[in-house]
Structure 1
Amino acid sequence: MGTFNKWFLLLIVAGIMLIPASTFGQNNKNDNGYPLKVMSYNLRFGERATLEELAEYIKSENPDVVALQEMDVRTHRAQAPHQNGKDFITELGYLTGMLTAYARTIDYSGGYYGIGILSKYPFEKTQKVLLPIPEGSREQRAMLLADVELPGGKRFTFVSTHLDHSSSNVRKVQIEALNEALTNNPLPLIVAGDFNGKPDSPEINAGMQNWNRACNSDFTFPSNNPELKIDYIFYTPSANWTVKNAAVPKTQLSDHLPVTAEMELH
């Protein structure tokens, strides 16, 4: 190798060594975890607010993914006449600028009633999984699964659910089915929704014992005078997630308070 080439090579190596290590991958959020803000919100079929108000509130919280419960599509309810005929998931998607997924659980009053997901990021696939209807159940319930694609190729599964409010025994059966359905899921998981069970109930305390909670212990129901914790965000496995902050924001747009968590996917 000639003298010039040797000096040129040494200059390149020296230049690389002088570059701070922190600059490598500085535009790649995968290095320190990809930040996500998660929200779960039971909307009470929009009885207390317009879709515009709900959308503005969701936008103000700036979540990346939202699990929604009690979502009407083209129903006609006497207690919410201002929502008659409206397609909640489509309109909220339009008003928030987010992508949408919806799962009908029952037919109701000329339309559908169910659960939904809003996301800033595209879905690789979505799936509805019906939950059991054991004796004592009031109505069909379900999970809505969405494999979410993040920039850089990372993916995770986000689940919105709403368990039956009738009894603890019914919810225990439904949580057993939830766990069975998600056991072999290949991606990191977040499950969020209205579980209708208190933290010390058998269905939550024992049924969700293998999950980590990304939500704090603040009460979520009823919104005007909260005295029950029934809305949650769970995640697994712990090695794939870091929880930075969890909150129960105060708002009166529904009979539930929303729950939020700022997380990182590793």
Structure 2
Amino acid sequence: MKLNFQFSGAVCLLLMYAFTTVAQSEKKTLKVMTYNIHHGNPPAQNGVIDLPAIANVISSQAPDLVALQELDVRTGRANGVDQVKKLAELTGMYAFFSKGIDYDGGEYGVAILSKFKINRTERFPLPAKAGLPAEARSLAVINVTLPTGKSLDFACTHLDLKDEHRLLQVAEINKVLGSRKGQVILAGDFNLDAKNPAMAILEQHFTRSCRENCDPTIPEVNPKDEIDFILLKKGSPLKVASHQVLKNITASDHLPVVASYILP
């Protein structure tokens, strides 16, 4: 009887462990990507536009939300193609475009792809320092409902090359998103590294998905600099499960960044 009791106890412990492992593996996650697509032009192929290559990179990761930068909408350079609409079709996702500038007979800016139906869209122009030449930039924001039933704002941007403009732009982003009570994820090409003073301003309200030993994101061959980021608004119940820079991807001059968050 004693042996049977011990055997039964061991079985119970194994079953409890198995159920716990299954429960942990079934935790819902949110996968987010940011990718500067270089208007669909592989840098090694001058003048070539290859949107299927970009779509394949995205689809290979099956992300829930994607922040995209440097998209052409009906420009001459893109042969009149609406790249946002085309990528939405190729990936089977919903899309939102936020114009930065008029360019080559069309428009140029950032976009968001979403596996979830988009509840609301917003576009915010970002400031530039007066008297200093600048290309107009914007902040795109969508609102979606997560599988948990909770609401999330997902934002995408592409900051200026100059510190004078970037400092104003991150301050504006904090103004727009920092006071929001719901969950917020911000992603994009920030044109700065993690040590830049502008990042410190953003980090008053946001936390990067990778904070130590982070891989570089540009250029696509022998990358040296990390300038593409995914950030979560502080106070969110979401937790980082993983962070990855996809290697050996040559569809653009940037490498895609993917982060997964555990949903509460």
TM-score of the superposition, structure 2-length normalised? 0.83
| 1:103-131 Cα distance to aligned partner (Å, 9 max, x none) | 11111000000110111101110100110
**Residue 67 in 1 paired to residue 64 in 2?**
no
Taking the TM superposition and a 5 Å limit, the aligned residue runs for 1:167-246 are 167-215=162-210, 217-246=214-243
2:128 and 2:27 map into 1 onto residues whose CA distance is: 39
SS at match of 1:223: coil
1:239 and 1:96 map into 2 onto residues whose CA distance is: 28
Please say if residues 178 and 205 of structure 2, whose CA atoms lie closer than 8 Å, have aligned partners that are also in contact.
no
Gaps of 5+ in 1: 1-19, 78-82
| 1:194-217 Cα distance to aligned partner (Å, 9 max, x none) | 000111111113442431111362
Residue 237 of structure 1 and its aligned partner are, at CA, apart by 2.7
RMSD over equivalenced CA pairs, Å:
2.5
2:135 and 2:111 map into 1 onto residues whose CA distance is: 17
- 2:85: which partner in 1? 90
Aligned CA distance change for structure 1 residues 178 and 206 (closer, same or farther; 3 Å):
closer
1:184 and 1:205 map into 2 onto residues whose CA distance is: 17
Please say if residues 212 and 238 of structure 1, whose CA atoms lie closer than 8 Å, have aligned partners that are also in contact.
no
- 2:56: which partner in 1? 56
TM-score of the superposition, structure 1-length normalised? 0.83
Please say if residues 189 and 227 of structure 2, whose CA atoms lie closer than 8 Å, have aligned partners that are also in contact.
yes
**Residue 148 in 1 paired to residue 136 in 2?**
no
1:196 and 1:236 map into 2 onto residues whose CA distance is: 20
Residue 152 of structure 1 and its aligned partner are, at CA, apart by 4.4
Please say if residues 73 and 112 of structure 1, whose CA atoms lie closer than 8 Å, have aligned partners that are also in contact.
yes
- 1:158: which partner in 2? 154
Gaps of 5+ in 2: 1-15, 43-48
Moved over 3 A (4+): none
Please say if residues 140 and 156 of structure 2, whose CA atoms lie closer than 8 Å, have aligned partners that are also in contact.
yes
Please say if residues 149 and 156 of structure 1, whose CA atoms lie closer than 8 Å, have aligned partners that are also in contact.
yes
Residue 153 of structure 1 and its aligned partner are, at CA, apart by 2.0
1:184 and 1:239 map into 2 onto residues whose CA distance is: 13
SS at match of 2:68: strand
Aligned CA distance change for structure 1 residues 125 and 252 (closer, same or farther; 3 Å):
same
1:145 and 1:265 map into 2 onto residues whose CA distance is: 20
